[in-house]
Structure formats: C-alpha cells, structure tokens
A and B are shown apart, each in its own frame.
Chain A
Amino acid sequence: MKKISSKVILVIIFVLVTLFQLFFALSTKNFSSDESYLNLRLTEKISENKFHLRYDNLSYGGRDLVYSPLFYYLFVFLSLVPFVFKIIPIILSSLIILVVYLISFELTKDEKASLIASLMSAFIPVYFSLILNNFSIFSLAIPAFFFMLYCFIKIGQHKKYLEYFVVLSFILPLLHPIAFLLPIALMFYLILTTTEDIEVSKLKKEVLIFSIFLTILLSFIIYKRAFLAYGFNVIWQNVPAQISGNYFSNINILKAIISLGILPLIYGIVGIVYSYFKGKKDSFFLINGVLLAVFLLLVLRLINLNIGLTFLGIALTILSAVALARYFIYLRKTKFYNFENYLTLIIIIAVVILSIIPSYLTSSGIIKSTIADEDLSLFKEIKGKTPPGSTVLAPLQFGHLITYQAERKNVVDSNFLLAPNPEQRLLDVADIYTTQFEVKALELLEKYDVDYIITDEKIIEEYNIEEVSYIKDEKCFKEILPEVFEVIC
C-alpha cells in the first residue's frame, strides 16, 4: 500500500479541525463572548472613519481607548469575504496545527511524532474555549507567536527565516500586548542556555536584542497614554481586583489538567525532562523558555488564566513530540518494533479519548452558553426604543453588547485599560441590582447618568436575587420593554 505523505495527513488534519470548528461556529449566528462584539465594533469603526477609534463615546459613558489596532485593519481588508468574522478566525486559529508540526519536526526530525503533536495541538480544550466561535485576536496572535519561535529556531539556516522573524517582530506588538511574552521567553531561553553551557549563535543573540528593543519601543508608542497613567502597573491592565481574582479562583488542578489536555501534559513533562537532561539542544530550551515565561506571568497574575493555559498547552504539545520521538526510537530498539503501528494507533485513540472528546464537550458547552438570539434582539429593541446618547445599565458581560447592538452608552465593560474607575463601577453596578434601598439605587443611577436598566433573568440569577427590589416603583421606573426599565425620577 502506498504510504500517505505527512503533508497530506497534515492537510487532512487541518481541514478536519477547521470543519470541526465551523460545525460549531456556524450552528449559531451569534458569538460566544461579549468581547467579540467589542472587536466587531472596533473593526466597523475603522470602516466608517478610515482610522481606528481612539475615543469611545459609548464605553463607560465616554473614555479614551488604547489598543493594538492591526487586527482590526486586517479584518477591514478581509470584510468582503462572506462570514468573514466567523470563518477567517477559525482558519487562522487552525494554522497552529501547521506551526506545531513545523516546530516539532524541527526539534525531532520525526514525522510521525510531529503529526501526532500537531493533532494534539488542534484539540487543546482551553484553546477551543479561547477562540471557538469568537472573533478573537488570539486566533491570529497565537499562531503568529509560535511561528516566530519556529523562525527563531531556523535562523541561520536560511535568510528568509530572519526576514520572517523581523516582519513578525513588527506585526505581533501591533496585534496584541501578548507580544511581551516573546522577549520574556527569549530572556529565559538565554538564561537556560547559559546555565546549561549551550552555545547560542551570535546571530540569534543579535535577533534576541533586536526583538526585545523593538517590542519595548512599539509598546511604548502604542500604549504611551496607558504608561503615563499607570506607570509599570500598566501590565496589570487596570483589571479590577475582583475580576483578576476570578481568573484564578474558579480553577482547580483537575480542571486545569483537563483544560490543557491530559496527553500534552504527560508527554510534555516527559519532553521537558528529556530536553533538560539528555537533549540539551538550544531549540528545546526555547520552548522551555516559553513555559517559564508563561508560568511567571501566571504566577504574577499578569495574564488571564485561559490565555496562559493555552500557551502552556501548545508549548507542552510541542515538547510532547520530543517525548514521542524518543519513545518511537526506543521502541524500534526493542522486540516490540513490529507493533509500532498498533502502538501508534493506541496513541491516536488516546488523543481521541483524552483530547478530541473533551474538546467536543468544551465546544458544545461554549455553543450552549452562546449569547442567545433573544438576548441580542433585546439589545436591538433597546436601540429602537431609546434615544441616542442615553446610558443603559447592565452587568459587565453585557457591556459590549450595549455599545455594539444597542449603540448606547454603558456603565461598565471588560475593556479596562484607561477605563475610569472600573473597580468602583463594578461594585456600584452590583449594589444597584442588589440593594434593598431605592434611595441608594437612585443615587448610584444618577451618579452614572443611567437612563435605562436591564433586569433580565440571567442578571437576576447572577446576583442571586429574586428580583430588583425597587423596580416596581412606578413613580421612578417605567417598563419600556420586557425586563427593561426607564429611570424616570
């Protein structure tokens, strides 16, 4: 039987994973996260104004914006493609399969191990939770980040990799602040290779210096206003304590292991051990550098847990290839070499059971919790029933829906950088919904110039109340839509 080339298998995996994601994403018209609507709005604003939004008059009732704008410009260009905001992010995020294959093959020179690693990378549950049915910058930033690592490994082999690396060094900081992870990872790489007495080529050191300085410069240029406002505290992105605390409070070890995928974790750890004690190749230490950098950022609570786990998951998947390659080499030396194909099949079945099924379940969960049509239509109705410029109150997770769908001002949303006093606002919003005292609620509603208040079932459930206690006072609140009240006093 003719052997199928690894390239074909890789393409098959790529297509299957893309279809897998499309199956879920196209089953609903809506996106699964509130943040997707922010990204949609920022993209549409570029189409309208030919320049990215620097002052948002709806978010927090009006505030300055600082962000890396490249992703939005890119989608303005792509916006002619039908379903662009659904399909393109899926295709982009699936590119991680190719990148993981390339890095794994570079590390191991073993096609089979690299293909298994790329298959595992396609089904990291936490990666799915980050990008599935979301119009998210990470769908591009994560593959770009790992492709940069690949180029870094290949620098010195061909001039084109250096050029790719340089170009991506400019692009990544313009995509997302996660670009800062790269210089940190490269620093760890340098420390690890130095302590392990592994020679790093002069060219790589030069590229490393270049990359660090470029990232710092671009970050200072893009986030200048944020740096002036918060100093180095900008790395915490003004995320309120109650939110950054939540990143970590809902997680337990078992949940984290399932999110990462059991196989990448087990094989990845074996890969780490091998790379430290036997492998001693500088490229192994590059991936270990990423692991340490992510770990550091997680410990310092500088990145969202899901983002951190995604990077950890992909890095571990790459190191899994190292472990699998060693395993196959060892197997070929034993009497079981005839069973190699069977054992490979067992590994693939394990991938199906331990990665693909959890990813399927995660994906189903994501789609189930996607913003419902009724919720969206409520915001569209609000747009029709309220005057432009009015302020609508809803909890944090509805913030971007208010600005995107209803096109009205919100009190709070999840874009915290340069947002005015988000911590206090979160507390005040919770107070408005939960207080028993109408006077207090009215005082707070006046503080934020709230004209309309949404009191739907999800909000009631979130605050664990039976109803908003004072909302039936007809002197002050008039129901303009089901579960939407106008503040009239």
Chain B
Amino acid sequence: MRSVSKKFYQKFLKLSVERWVILIILLSTILVISLPYIIRNSPILVGDESYYHLKIASLIQEKGITNFDPLSYGGRQVLTPLGWPFVLAKISSFLNISLEFTSKLIPFIFGILTVILFYYTLKSIKVEKKIRTISTLVFTISPIFIYLFSTSNYYFIPLFLNLLAFFFLLKDKKILTTILIALTTFFGIIHPLAGLVAVLIYTLIKNRKSLLWFYITLAITLILILLRYIPVLIKFGLPKLFTIDNLPIYQQLFSDLGGKISLSIFALILAFIGMIVTWKKKKVYVTMHIAFIILFILSFFYIPLLIYLNLLLAILVAFGILKLIQKRWESKFIKNFTILILSLGLIFSGLSYAKQTADSLPNKDIVEGLSLIETDSELKTVFSHYSNGYWINYLAKKPNVMDPSFAYAPSLQQTYEDSQDLFYSRDLKNSTEILKRYNIGYIFITPEMKEGKVWHEDEEGLLFLLEFSKNFRMVYAQKGVEVWEIGNLTIS
C-alpha cells in the first residue's frame, strides 16, 4: 500500500513538474510576444508589412476574394498569397472586432499554440526533457519568434500548420497531416515544400511503409500549388529580380546587425557547440545536421527559410547549453560566468530585437499625416519613398506610386526611374510631367527620407522645388513628417 502511494506521489510530482515547466514556458511566451507592445506603448501597428495585410483584408471584406488591388502602383493584380489576409478578414468579421486588433490577437494566440506544439512535438520524438524545455525557451526568446508572433506577417500561420502537420504525423494521423500541408499552399509556395520535405525525411527514416501516402500528399499539394501558380506563370511569367538598397545578406541574417527575419549571433555560436556535441552521435542526429546546414545555406538565397531553421537552431542551442552545463569544468567560477554570458547573449538578442520592433515606424505623426490625406475625397496618388507605400494605401486610403511589392509590379523599372527623377530633379518642367503622369496629388515626407534614406541635403532635388515653387502647399508638418498638397501644376 505504501509503495503504491509512493509511486503515485512520484508520478504526481513528475507530472506537476512538467506542468510547472509548461506554465513557465507559457508565461515567458506571453511576456515575449507582448514585449514590443509594452515597450511601444501605442496602439499603432508596427512595420509596413502589417499594413499590406490590413489593406488586402479590408479589400476582401469589401469585395470578397479579389485579384485586383486598386491602390498599389496605382492599380495592379494581387499575386501575393491570400491566406493570412483572408483569415484576418474573416475572423475580424466573425468576431466583429477591428482588423487592427485582429492583426495583433491572431499572431498572439498562434504564438502560444506554436510554443505548446513545439514542446509536445519534441516530446513525441522523445527528446530528453531538459533539451525540450531549453529548446522551447530558446525558441521563445529568439528574434524570429518575436517577429513571427508580435507582428502581422505571412509566415506564422504556415509555420504553425506545418508543425501541427508534423505532430499529427508522429501521432499517425496521416489524413490530417495531408490536409494541413495542403492548407499551407494558401500561404506561399515555400511552406508546403518545407512541410513535404520534413514529412519525406520522417517517412524515409521511420516509416517507409507510408511512402505511398506521402506520394498522395505530394500529388495533392503539387496540384494545389500548380493550380495557384501556373495561371500566374502563364500570364505574367517568372517575376523579375529587382532589389533596391538592401542590407548585405550577412547583415540580414543576424538580428544583432539589423536583420528583420534573422537569427541571434549568440544562438548561432551555441548551435555550433550543440552541433559538435551531437556530432558524436551522428547516426542519430545526422538528419538534423544536414537539414540545418542545407537550410542555412538556402537562407542566403531566401531569408524566410530562417523561420524553419530557427526550430532546428533552438534544439541545437539546447544541446550546446546542456553540454556547457553538464561538462566538468576546471573552474566552476568560469563555467557559471560563461553560461551566464551566453544566456545573457541570447536574452540580449531577443530584448534588443523586441526594442527594435517596438521602435519601428509608423508613429503617431505618420498616422496623423496620412489620415489627413484620407479626408480628401478625391482619389489622388501619394508620392513618397517606396517603403511608405503600404501605409499610404491603408492609412491614407490612396494609391501609391511604388511600394515594396516588387514582384510583378507594373512597369516597375520605369516607375522606379521616374521616382528617382522626381526625388532628385530640380527641373520643375520635368517634375511636373512626372507628377501629372502618375496623377500625384500629395507628397508625403518622413524624417528618415531627409536623413539619408532619400536626401542628404536640405534643398536637394524635390525639396528645393517644394520650398520655392508655388505649386506645392504644405498641409501638415509635425516632427519632420510633412504632407505637401500639389495645386495647379504650372511651370513657375
């Protein structure tokens, strides 16, 4: 009787410990996701991508699923994945809450669900408890996690779907896996491929008998991909490569160097240690090593792959940290300090990224400036730096000349050249022609544009014309944010 109760107690204790661990993980997840909003202390959504999704979602709410965006580049086809804007529009309508709030709420919920799923997926593949706990914590404080679940973006739902698909595969619920992978096709081309590769690797290693099922899933997914993209390819061909003033690729990869979808340098160092540790058992971990290396290399060509790499990275980091903890050090003093430094490094990268996210534009002045343009009932185009394009569309509800959606943008090269011409020319005749050509009614200027993003000098190009020509009237100026209205265009 006594031994039975002892066993029960031990089992209870074991369970409750795990529950505590999960609770701590959940609390830290909630804290991490909320952190940018806490630091920002403003209801304004961060970044530019969020506003693109808001625009498409509001279009869906108005007109149903649509292929035409009347505001981007003065009007163009919508060829970006509609998965997230569709979910955003429908949930917002269903719950009768604003699109802005839904944009924050859904990533938040998915963030919590993804963390739980990640933990239980690791548990299902029998990853040691310590490793899965550390991995989950590392995953939670990673810059990519903050990006995915604190902002409105393309990637968080497909990541969740793929993780869930993999989890169901581990539970031998293959039909659900097939459905989930198929669903990811609505969120971009890379996600179903990533899901299929993960499923294929698992099938080849653990369950070769399921290969037939894999082929069926592959066929379904490929059909869906082809149905979505073949018409685009036939009509528009392959998108032309067009890049402007991007950060160098090595800088884009690391959050500490200003990357957006990016890794922590400290995590990478620890992952390297983790790789060395697991190298000794390479038969068990060879797939992870190869996948990690391949994903890392591919990330140089397509940065969003880092969101999948981040999962493997978290596991390798956990191995690295555990090795440092378990290894017998000559000096316990140095050991503790080193572990502390590395942990602080991981936290520093996360915190610093959260701060960067919180500080991102738009701010109150930008929103106010663009809201002023919104009050104009005429549908005049607003000219600004292309990076402000999504804000112009959503906040001012006006067409832009350019925005960051370069793929399949109409007359992209010409539009870019005209924009440059307008920014830097002091020739009123030439500028007037361009303004007329694009039906530009407003010019929107941010402090960043005057501080090197576009101009370096006070009266450079368009700034000179704005100051000395009677054709332009400043209608808003607040902390460097300016809105200029264009009157009757005469060459004077």
* Residue B341 CB within 8 A of the other chain: yes
Residues of B within 8 A of A207 (CB): 331, 334
Known: A224-B352, A232-B250. A213 touches B331 (CB 8 A): no
User: In whole angstroms, what is the CA distance A293 to B331 when docked?
Assistant: 27
Pair B341/A206 contact, Cβ less than 8 Å = no
Pair B458/A447 contact, Cβ less than 8 Å = yes
Q: Which residue of A lies closest to B269 (CB)?
A: A213
Residues of A within 8 A of B452 (CB): 420-421
Known: A217-B266, A231-B251, A447-B458. A166 touches B256 (CB 8 A): no
Closest chain B CB from A221 CB (angstroms) = 6
User: In whole angstroms, what is the CA distance A232 to B329 when docked?
Assistant: 32
Closest chain A CB from B343 CB (angstroms) = 10
Render A200-240 as a binary contact track against B, CB cut-off 8 A, 1 for contact: 01110011011001101100110010011101100000000
Known: A224-B352, A232-B251, A421-B456. A206 touches B258 (CB 8 A): no
Pair A231/B248 contact, Cβ less than 8 Å = yes
Residues of B within 8 A of A42 (CB): none
Question: Which residue in A206, A216, A447 is a CB contact (below 8 Å) of B335?
Answer: A206
Render B319-335 as a binary contact track against A, CB cut-off 8 A, 1 for contact: 00000000001110111
Closest chain B CB from A187 CB (angstroms) = 14
Closest chain A CB from B336 CB (angstroms) = 10
Render B479-490 as a binary contact track against A, CB cut-off 8 A, 1 for contact: 000000000000
Residues of A within 8 A of B101 (CB): none
Q: Which residue of A lies closest to B330 (CB)?
A: A203
Question: Which residue in B250, B256, B333 is a CB contact (below 8 Å) of A227?
Answer: B256
Residues of A within 8 A of B297 (CB): none
* Residue B265 CB within 8 A of the other chain: yes
Pair B341/A213 contact, Cβ less than 8 Å = yes
User: In whole angstroms, what is the CA distance A227 to B356 when docked?
Assistant: 13
* Residue B433 CB within 8 A of the other chain: no
Total residues of chain A contacting the partner, CB 8 A: 25
Pair A166/B334 contact, Cβ less than 8 Å = yes
Residues of B within 8 A of A213 (CB): 266, 269, 338, 341-342, 345
Residues of A within 8 A of B265 (CB): 216, 220
Q: Which residue of A lies closest to B335 (CB)?
A: A206
Q: Which residue of B lies closest to A203 (CB)?
A: B330
User: In whole angstroms, what is the CA distance A201 to B331 when docked?
Assistant: 12
Pair B247/A206 contact, Cβ less than 8 Å = no
Residues of A within 8 A of B257 (CB): 227-228, 231-232
Pair B250/A216 contact, Cβ less than 8 Å = no
Pair A206/B338 contact, Cβ less than 8 Å = yes
* Residue A162 CB within 8 A of the other chain: yes
Known: A206-B329, A210-B337. A228 touches B258 (CB 8 A): yes
Question: Which residue in B331, B338, B352, B457 is a CB contact (below 8 Å) of A162?
Answer: B331
Render B348-372 as a binary contact track against A, CB cut-off 8 A, 1 for contact: 1000100010000000000000000
25 A-B residue pairings within 8 Å (CB atoms): A162-B333, A162-B334, A166-B337, A202-B329, A202-B330, A206-B329, A206-B338, A207-B334, A213-B266, A213-B341, A216-B345, A217-B266, A217-B344, A217-B345, A221-B348, A224-B256, A224-B352, A228-B258, A231-B247, A231-B257, A232-B251, A232-B257, A420-B452, A421-B456, A447-B457
- 9 nearest A-B residue pairs (beta carbon): A231-B251, A203-B330, A231-B257, A228-B258, A210-B338, A202-B330, A206-B334, A213-B341, A217-B345
Which residues of B are in contact with A by a Cβ distance under 8 Å? 247-248, 250-251, 256-258, 265-266, 269, 329-331, 333-335, 337-338, 341-342, 344-345, 348, 352, 356, 452, 456-458
